[in-house]
Amino acid sequence: MTIYPAIDIKGGRAVRLTQGRADQETVYAENPADVAAQFKAAGSAWVHVVDLDGAFAGEPQNLSVVQAIAALGMKVQLGGGLRTRAAVERALGFGVTRVVIGTRAAESETFVGELVQAFGEKVAVGIDAKNGQVAVKGWVATAGMSALALAARMDTLGVRTLIHTDIGTDGMLTGPNYPAQEAMLNAGKFNVIASGGVSRREDVIELAKLAQRHSRLDGVIVGKALYEGRVKLTDLLTIAKG
């Protein structure tokens, strides 16, 4: 299982939003690349980056910051505003390892299918769910379908990785929604990266147990708990290795 430490970028800075609300912002660092360097020093190969400005604007806004992170030699998984093929190609050109398609995945299966054909495993789909329903456009709108239904459709398109975020737990430090993550694992043949709610090392231990039962649980994204010192990345990496 892979640990994906998270960096959310807004206005060029590393921040966290509580449940995706722009008015609930905490700034953790002026330079996100400095944070990524700390993650790398702790032993992390990956970093999960969200361009929050991009998610709200509909196109990436912080690619220069992303490029600085990629230049550290880390594998970058990037989401936020990737709603055109040109934006995807630009992100990959800036050194991104895997792009995460969110809003557009709920809007256009054709778009996702074309990306998968062109870029294969470099394309992941982010499914953000609120009470089991898909949320889009920076979580300010709903797509009118269930997360599991969208996952099944992505499976038929050949998407190999889904990032499943439970909005109800994201940033709340209340623990992951294990039943929702397990239901997602049973919805198709794709790998799942769990996101939302990790607040202590025991949460990652439980997810590691789930990964033993479901080999397609690829990993977990950890954000706020790292920034607030509730967990240590070195410890989580050790747990994830089993």
User: What pLDDT, in 10s, does the model give residues 80-95?
Assistant: 999 999 999 999 999 9
Complete DSSP assignment for 143-172 = EEEEHHHHHHHHHHTT--EEEEEETTTTTT
pLDDT mean across residues, the chain: 93
- Res 174: pLDDT: 79
Could you please report the per-residue DSSP string of 28-78?
Answer: EES-HHHHHHHHHHHT-SEEEEEEHHHHHHSS-S-HHHHHHHHTTT-EEEE
Q: Is 203 a catalytic residue?
A: no
Q: Given this model, what pLDDT does residue 173 score?
A: 72
**Which of 51, 53, 128, 166 is an active site residue?**
128
Q: Report whether 121 contacts 98 (CB < 8 A).
A: yes
**How high is the pLDDT of residue 167?**
86
- pLDDT single digits (tens) 125-139: 999 998 899 987 666
Quote the domain boundaries for residue 232: 2-240
Render pLDDT for 176-185 as a digit per residue (tens, 0 to 9).
999 999 999 9
pLDDT > 90: percent of the chain: 83
Instruction: Give the pLDDT of residue 141.
Output: 66
Our count of domains for the chain comes to 1
User: Could you read off the pLDDT of 45-70 as tens digits, one per residue?
Assistant: 999 999 999 988 999 999 999 999 99
Burial of 72 per CB tally in 10 Å (0-12, 13-18, 19+): middle
195 closest CA partner among 187, 183, 205, 207: 207
Give residue 139's pLDDT.
Answer: 63
pTM recorded for the entire structure: 0.94
The CATH number given to whatever domain includes residue 169 is: 3.20.20.70
Q: Which of 8, 166, 170, 203 is catalytic?
A: 8
Q: Is the torsion defined by CA of 101, 151, 115, 3 positive or negative?
A: positive
| Per-residue pLDDT, 103 | 86
